[in-house]
């Protein structure tokens, strides 16, 4: 049994953490849940993640939930893999900003667009402000490349990159040249390809 176990449903938000584990290259086990069969609400799983959501990661008995937290955690737990920006490096600030921007701005902006509220919220009430500004900010950040922090690929690219890739694929994020080029760079990564193939295989189970 590996020290790392991912509670995963395929495909889902936990696919982002599957990709992160492939980037990491450490051995891991998968505990596959079928959301359609309600596995996420079964008592055994609720004991691990009372939110009834995937993903959940167990590392040496420690439980971590939330996609961006899992990616941040893994990058910091295995610093030799160079997927993090360590404390003390001035790039740590922007690195953390993008890791948080994923779940606090990018995803809510996309989900609000996909499932609009009956009454539009005031811009000031929304953490992401508005959809177009959020997309413009991400497009500018990935335009130069190759990665969000420049030459180094980090966990921030896994979090933001997953959103850009899946969002454009499902027409929830607008197609724009910056996003297409960034997605193509991601698609060329062997770890992203391995994760995608594994997810397909698991999804068919
Ligand atoms: N904030 C969570 C969201 C996780 C989430 O919504 N996962 C979905 C899969 S895409 C899920 O478990 N849905 C099953 C359900 O709600 O019953 C995270 O970032 O990990």
Say yes or no to pLDDT of 2 above 90: no
What is d(CA 36, CA 93) in angstroms, rounded to the nearest whole number?
A: 39
User: Does residue 52 have its Cβ closer than 6 Å to ligand 1?
Assistant: yes
Whether residue 55 is preceded by a cis peptide bond, meaning omega within 30 degrees of 0, is yes
What is d(CA 57, CA 71) in angstroms, rounded to the nearest whole number?
A: 10
Instruction: Tell me how far the alpha carbon of residue 194 lies from the centroid of ligand 1, in angstroms.
Output: 22
Q: Which ligand 1 atom is nearest residue 41's CA? A: 17
The structure's pTM equals 0.97
pLDDT of 147 reads 98
Structure tokens at 136: 């413009």
Say yes or no to pLDDT of 36 above 90: yes
Contact of 5 with 48, CB cutoff 8 Å: no
Query: Best of 34, 52, 54 to mutate for ligand 1, by most ligand atoms within 8 A of CB?
Result: 54
Say yes or no to pLDDT of 205 above 90: no
Say yes or no to pLDDT of 72 above 90: yes
pLDDT of 1 reads 80
Contact of 103 with 66, CB cutoff 8 Å: yes
Nearest CA to 15 among 173, 141, 194? Answer: 194
Q: Per-residue pLDDT tens for 120-160? A: 899 999 999 999 999 999 999 999 999 999 999 999 999 99
Q: Which ligand 1 atom is nearest residue 68's CA? A: 19
């Amino acid at each position: 049994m590996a020290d790392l176990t991912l509670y995963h449903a395929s495909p889902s938000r936990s696919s982002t953490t599957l990709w992160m584990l492939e980037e990491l290259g450490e051995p891991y086990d998968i505990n596959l849940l079928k959301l359609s069969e309600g596995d996420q609400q079964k008592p055994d799983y609720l004991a691990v993640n009372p939110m009834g959501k995937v993903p959940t990661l167990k590392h040496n008995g420690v439980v971590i939930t939330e996609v961006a937290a899992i990616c941040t955690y893994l990058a910091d737990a295995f610093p030799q893999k160079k997927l993090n920006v360590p404390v003390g490096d001035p790039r740590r600030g922007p690195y953390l900003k993008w890791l948080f921007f994923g779940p606090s701005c990018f995803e809510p902006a996309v989900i609000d667009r996909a499932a609009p509220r009956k009454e539009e919220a005031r811009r000031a009430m929304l953490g992401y402000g508005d959809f177009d500004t959020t997309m413009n900010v991400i497009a500018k950040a990935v335009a130069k490349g190759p990665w969000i922090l420049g030459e180094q690929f980090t966990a921030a690219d896994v979090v933001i990159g997953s959103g850009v890739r899946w969002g454009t694929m499902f027409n929830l994020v607008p197609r724009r040249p910056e996003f297409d080029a960034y997605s193509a760079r991601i698609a060329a990564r062997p770890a992203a390809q391995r994760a995608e193939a594994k997810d397909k295989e698991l999804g068919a189970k």
